[in-house]
Amino acid sequence: MPPLIEESRQVETPSLPELVGHTPLVRLPRFEPKPGVAIYAKLEMQNPGGSVKDRAALAMMLAGERSGAFGHGRILLDATSGNTGIAYAMIGAARGHRVRLCVPSNVTPERKRLLQVYGADLVLTDPMEGSDGAIRQARAIYQRDPQRYFYPDQYSNDANWQAHFHSTGVEILEQTAGRITHFVAGLGTSGTFVGTGRRLRQDLPDVKLVSVQPDSPLHGLEGLKHMESAIVPAIYDPKLADIDLRISTDIAHTLVRRLAREEGLFVGPSSGAALAAAIDLASDLKSGIIVAIFPDGGDRYLSDPLWDHPGTSEAPARAEGENEPVRLHLPEAALASIRRHGARVYPNECCGALLGTAPGHVTEAFSLDNTFAEEQQRRRFLVGPEEYRRAEARATETGLQLIGFYHSHPDHPAEPSQFDLDHAWPNLSYIIFSVRQGQPKELRSWRLKADRSAFEEEFVS
Ligand code: PMP
C-alpha cells in the first residue's frame, strides 16, 4: 500500500525580497478618451508592503548591508510620508534590523498603525511642515549621533532610482513587449519616475516620459511633491521629463472614486493623479500605449476626506452608465468656434451642441440656431425639436455622441440661471460663457446633479 502522506520534499519558497516587484499591468478601457490610445496601470499595491516603495526601500537596505553602512546593530533612520516607512519596517522586521522613522503627525492613523505593526519607532513631526519638516528632523537626529544610525536618505540615495531602473522599467518593457509610447509617474522622491524613465529611454529612445505634480503647494496628494515649493530631491533630474503635468487634488479624488466604482480598483490619491494625467495626455494623442504607475492601494486612505464626498456613503449607487462628472476636455478648435459664435450673435444668446467620443470629451462644437422669438433671443436659449434633430443628425454623420450644449450669457456671469436649471437634461455637459460688450470672456461648464436639484461645476481643460 502506498503511504498516506508522501515523504515531504524540500520545496523552494521565495524569501520576502523576492516577492517585491513583478506587479501586474491592467488596461483601463473605460477611462480611455478615444479609440487608438490605450491606458494601462501598473498596480504597485500588489507589492508585499502594499506600495511601489518596497522596491526602493529593499534596494537601499541591501546596498547599505553590502557597503557596511548598515552594519549589524545600526538603526535605520529616515524621513518618510508613509509608504517608504512601511517598506523599511516590513523589510527591517524580516532581516532583523531596528527602524526609526520621522513622520509628519498628520499622516493617516492607518499608516501609523501599520508602522507599529512591523515594530518601527515613530518620531512625529510638525504637520504644518509636511514631509520637509520630517526630512529636517531626520537630518538633525542623524547629525547628533551618526555612528548609531544607517541613514539611507531616500531623497539623495542612488539605490532609490536604480531599483526602478533594474525592476519597474524592465517589467514594463516586458509587459508591453516594448510597445509603450508614454510613461506617466508622479514625483515624490522622484525615484520611480527617474529610474523607470531612464531605463525606458535607454531601451526605447522615442518613448515620452511624463512626470506628474500637484497643481499647488497645499494639496492632498499624499506621496507627491510640488517641486517649486518643496526641498528638491538630489536624485531628481528635471531634464528627463518630456512633459510635466499638474493635477488638482479634486480631480485625482474624483478619479479614485470612479476607479473603485467602475473598475473595482481601490487605489490611493496619487494613482488618481497619474490617471488624470494619462487621460489628459490621451486626449491629445492620435494613437499610443500609455503606462501609468499606480503607487499604492486605497485602504491606507479610508479616513481621508476624499471619502467624505457626498454620494460616497449615504446616496444610492449610481445608475448604470451614469458617471461622476470629472472634467470636460475642450480642444482649442472647439473653444475658438464657441467663442466666435458668441461674439457674432452678441447681444443675443448663441447656442450649439457639444459632440464627442465619450461623456466629458468634446471633439466638435456644432452651432445651432436659438429657437426663441426675436425679442426673447437675447435673454434665453432653448434648443427646439428641429435644432435637436440637427444636432443628432450631425452626431450620426460624424460617428460622435451628443454629450452636451453650449450657450452664451451676454453681459452676464457664466453661471446657470433658474431657467437653465428648469430646462436642462441629466448626464449632459452645459457650457456657459459670458460675452461682455461683444467680447467672449469667462467660460465654465455645468452638469445636473443626479437629483436634478442644482448644477455641479465641471472642470474644463
Ligand atoms: N505615491 C505615493 C502614495 C507615494 O508614497 C510615493 C512615494 N513618496 C509616490 C507616489 C512617489 O514615488 P517616488 O518617491 O518614487 O517619486
Listed residues 141, 158, 175: the one ending a domain: 158
Cβ of 297 less than 6 Å from ligand 1: no
- Tell whether 314 is covered by a domain: no
**Same-domain pairing of 121 and 142:** yes
pLDDT in tens, 44-94: 999 999 999 999 999 999 999 999 999 889 999 998 868 999 999 999 999
Mean pLDDT of 372-381: 62
- Tell whether 200 is covered by a domain: yes
47 vs 377, which has greater pLDDT? 47
pLDDT in tens, 102-153: 998 888 787 888 888 999 999 999 888 887 899 899 999 999 999 999 999 9
Query: Which residue's CA is the nearest one to ligand 1's atom 5?
Result: 223
Mean of all residue pLDDT scores within the chain: 88
How high is the pLDDT of residue 442?
87
Cβ of 44 less than 6 Å from ligand 1: no
Instruction: Assign 374 a pLDDT band (cuts: 50, 70, 90).
Output: low
Query: Which residue's CA is the nearest one to ligand 1's atom 8?
Result: 223
**Same-domain pairing of 35 and 74:** no
**Same-domain pairing of 66 and 148:** yes
Query: Which residue's CA is the nearest one to ligand 1's atom 10?
Result: 223
Of 236, 275, 205, the closest CA to residue 42 belongs to 275
Of 24, 51, 54, the closest CA to residue 296 belongs to 51
Ligand 1 midpoint to CA 278 (Å):
17
How high is the pLDDT of residue 109?
80
Cβ of 224 less than 6 Å from ligand 1: yes
Residue 150 has phi, psi (to 5 degrees) of -110, 115
- Tell whether 392 is covered by a domain: yes
- Tell whether 81 is covered by a domain: yes
Ligand 1 midpoint to CA 424 (Å):
42
Residue with cell 511633491: 225
Ligand 1 midpoint to CA 224 (Å):
6
How high is the pLDDT of residue 52?
98
- Tell whether 316 is covered by a domain: no
Cα–chain center distance at 439: 36
Judge whether residue 321 has pLDDT over 50: no
Q: What is the DSSP string of 166-208?
A: HTHHHHHHHHTTT---EEEEE-SSSHHHHHHHHHHHHH-TT-E
**Same-domain pairing of 178 and 34:** yes
Domain range for residue 380?
327-460
The number of the ligand 1 atom at minimal distance from the alpha carbon of 160 is: 15
**Same-domain pairing of 189 and 121:** no
Instruction: Assign 422 a pLDDT band (cuts: 50, 70, 90).
Output: confident
Ligand 1 midpoint to CA 282 (Å):
23
Of 343, 337, 338, 339, the closest CA to residue 438 belongs to 343
How high is the pLDDT of residue 363?
84
Cβ of 190 less than 6 Å from ligand 1: yes
**Same-domain pairing of 92 and 215:** no
- Tell whether 154 is covered by a domain: yes
Mean pLDDT of 299-327: 60
How high is the pLDDT of residue 61?
97
Query: Which residue's CA is the nearest one to ligand 1's atom 7?
Result: 223
Are 349 and 380 in contact by the 8 Å Cβ rule? The answer is: yes
**Same-domain pairing of 240 and 151:** no
CATH number at residue 450: 3.40.140.10
- Tell whether 95 is covered by a domain: yes
**Same-domain pairing of 170 and 135:** no
How high is the pLDDT of residue 131?
79
Top mutation candidate among 189, 209, 221, 299 for ligand 1, by most atoms within 8 Å of CB: 189
Are 90 and 202 in contact by the 8 Å Cβ rule? The answer is: no
Instruction: Assign 1 a pLDDT band (cuts: 50, 70, 90).
Output: low
d(CA 22, CA 159): 18
Put residue 50 in one of left, alpha, beta given phi > 0 → left and psi -120 to 50 → alpha.
Answer: left
Mean pLDDT of 366-376: 73
CATH number at residue 41: 3.40.50.1100
Judge whether residue 192 has pLDDT over 90: yes
Ligand 1 midpoint to CA 53 (Å):
7
Judge whether residue 391 has pLDDT over 50: yes
Instruction: Assign 246 a pLDDT band (cuts: 50, 70, 90).
Output: very high
pTM comes to 0.70
Cβ of 50 less than 6 Å from ligand 1: no
Judge whether residue 365 has pLDDT over 50: yes
Write the burial class of residue 7 (CB in 10 Å: 0-12 exposed, 13-18 middle, 19+ buried). exposed
Beta-sheet pairing, 182-186 with 208-214? parallel
In the chain, the number of structural domains is 3
Active site residues: 53, 270
d(CA 263, CA 258): 8
Cβ of 53 less than 6 Å from ligand 1: yes
Mean pLDDT of 355-372: 83
Cβ of 154 less than 6 Å from ligand 1: no
Cβ of 164 less than 6 Å from ligand 1: no
- Tell whether 132 is covered by a domain: yes
DSSP-derived letter for residue 426 is T
Q: What is the DSSP string of 224-286?
A: ---GGGSPPPTT--TTS-SEEEEE-HHHHHHHHHHIIIII---B-HHHHHHHHHHHHHHHT-S
Cβ atoms < 10 Å from Cβ of 317: 8
How high is the pLDDT of residue 23?
98
How high is the pLDDT of residue 322?
46
Are 306 and 269 in contact by the 8 Å Cβ rule? The answer is: yes
d(CA 410, CA 378): 8
The number of the ligand 1 atom at minimal distance from the alpha carbon of 53 is: 7
Residue 182's beta-bridge partner residues? 208, 290
Q: What percent of the chain has pLDDT over 90?
A: 56
Cβ of 222 less than 6 Å from ligand 1: yes
How high is the pLDDT of residue 317?
41
